[in-house]
Amino acid sequence: MRNTFYLTGNKRGDIPITILVIGVILVCGVALFSFFFSTIQMRNNFSGIGMVEQLDSQIEENAFYGTSPGVLSGNINTAINFAKNNRVGNRICDCGNSCNDYATWLSQAASENGIPDPILLLSLMMQESDCTLNAFSGSSVGLMQINLANCGNYGLPSNQDDCKKQLLENPQLNIEVGAKILKEKYDAYKNGKVFNGCSNRGITYTEWDAALRGYNGWGCGYDSSGNPITSQDSYVEEVDQRYDALKNVGSYLESDRTVGILWWAKKSLSFSVEYKGSP
């Protein structure tokens, strides 16, 4: 007697597989929709203009120069070259063809004076002069706007004409003197000092915030017409927020381009492209 076997599909087993396949397709579809919707939103928003292209270009540049994949640390060269082409907190870094030289000098000055991050010096330099080599306000000179009252100190000549000439023609010296002054203010005020300014703020600054405040001055300044310069009261906050934004320029996730772009946009651009601070 011949045994005959009939092969039939296990219909009950097919149902969970079908549900699983449909579920995977739905999840992928939602993920793709979310990504494209977010990208469109960024491109339509003022802060998204040119951002993707900027970041893609930076990723390619890092890859070309051999940067290891993964999370990039805050990088002074990346930050200063970004600030050359993008307004960060109402400021730009007009460093021309000297951006990488400035980055080197900022790094050296920070290291030699115990300043925790050269990007903090970059933010300060942008606040003072927009990185303009020959900036002159009448009493302050160059990239870091060194006040001529400092002539005769920090290795500068006592004669103001000679002092001014050196500060304008030697950008490395200007940065070094600015770093020395900032560190001197840190040592003097790091334990805390109350600032009132022109707005009677009554805020106590400590550590490097106190150093920044000391760099700009603790009193209330007046313009040529005798009006108080209230915009200087937010000096520390503007430098700090720009510093935070510039640090993040070099810290987005290179290993996952999509995650990196979206994270960086959310973290940085709300301030770095358009900060409603005082000029």
Q: pLDDT tens digit string along 128-171?
A: 999 999 999 889 999 999 999 999 999 999 999 999 999 999 99
Looking at the domain assignment, is residue 6 inside a domain?
Answer: no
pLDDT band (50, 70, 90) for residue 271: very low
Q: Which of 242, 181, 243, 245 is nearest to 213 (CA)?
A: 181
Distance, CA of 99 to CA of 133 (rounded, Å): 11
Phi–psi pair at 30, nearest 5 degrees: -65, -40
Which residue range forms the structural domain that includes residue 32? 13-44
The whole model's pTM is what?
0.67
Find the mean pLDDT for residues 207-217: 98
Whether the predicted pLDDT of 257 surpasses 50: no
Looking at the domain assignment, is residue 241 inside a domain?
Answer: yes
- Tokens for 46, please give them: 């003022």
What pLDDT shows up at residue 37?
A: 53
Looking at the domain assignment, is residue 3 inside a domain?
Answer: no
Phi–psi pair at 161, nearest 5 degrees: -65, -45
Q: Are 172 and 227 part of one and the same domain?
A: yes
Number of structural domains in the chain: 2
Q: Which residue has the higher pLDDT, 78 or 17?
A: 78
pLDDT band (50, 70, 90) for residue 278: very low
What pLDDT shows up at residue 51?
A: 46
Greatest distance between any 2 Cα atoms in the chain: 121
Looking at the domain assignment, is residue 1 inside a domain?
Answer: no
Tokens 């080599």 locate to: 133
Is residue 118 a contact partner of residue 76, using CB atoms and an 8 Å limit?
A: yes
Query: Amino acid identity of 164?
Result: K
Q: Are 214 and 87 part of one and the same domain?
A: yes
pLDDT in tens, 55-75: 444 444 443 333 333 333 358
